[in-house]
Structure 1
């Protein structure tokens, strides 16, 4: 089973920016990473395009595939459980989610002094914290400006 780690934190705390650094470092090491971004709303399909037309005709799932990439669009009208989403991902060493703070996967919380110094998750849910200020926690704490130590942690503690 592919390990899943959820990066959580308040809005605009820098999760995406930090994940860009972390994914770059993990990929540099030869670790294949999949990312699932949880959001409340998004629009990917464009009116007039074939996939849009297929969905509007009644297809509940539409897949678009090319030699470079593939996307699966689910028009069921309900949010899929994270385990169902991760089950379709293959060929990677690690799945990172951005969001899912209420999910049951191990979490790493990202904190920024100017956003909030209070955690959104309980310490029992966290395997680590990433912050730009000193924080007294019973889990490893990593600096927001440097993804290399967290990449080491993931590689040697989570991926083993």
Structure 2
């Protein structure tokens, strides 16, 4: 029985380490994509054929993959000039949820407004929670993480605002 519990604990620890490494990689890619977008790069609807990360395009129309190369320094070869159009399951993140599913029809304006309203509500709820927790936080590290979450929520609200008017606005 003890051997089985030890093996389960080891497997659980390995799974947690793998999940943490995956989250770290996704955070690193997200930060890099965000920085490039702020500098004028354009996110494309295509993914890198090597690693599956979404490709970006600079002002000179060059394609870059933030995982395979450094767009500023060129660490590694650039993705092919005209990569094959990958299926959604090759891209990380939300597109991975479409694995095996048929393409969705475009949402109606009402569905789009409802989705934006739901997203705003969820972000506002998380923002409120983080603000309350910040007042109770006793550690500098915890406070810094909450401040980062608050900033991410504010950025998300700005992006949602740019997508369309709040629900109920003519």
Per the normalisation by structure 1, the TM-score is 0.21
- Between Structure 1 and Structure 2, the one with more strand by share is 1
- Between Structure 1 and Structure 2, the one with more helix by share is 2
Ranked by relative contact order (alpha carbons within 8 Å, sequence separation 6 or more), the top structure is: 1
Higher Cα radius of gyration: 2
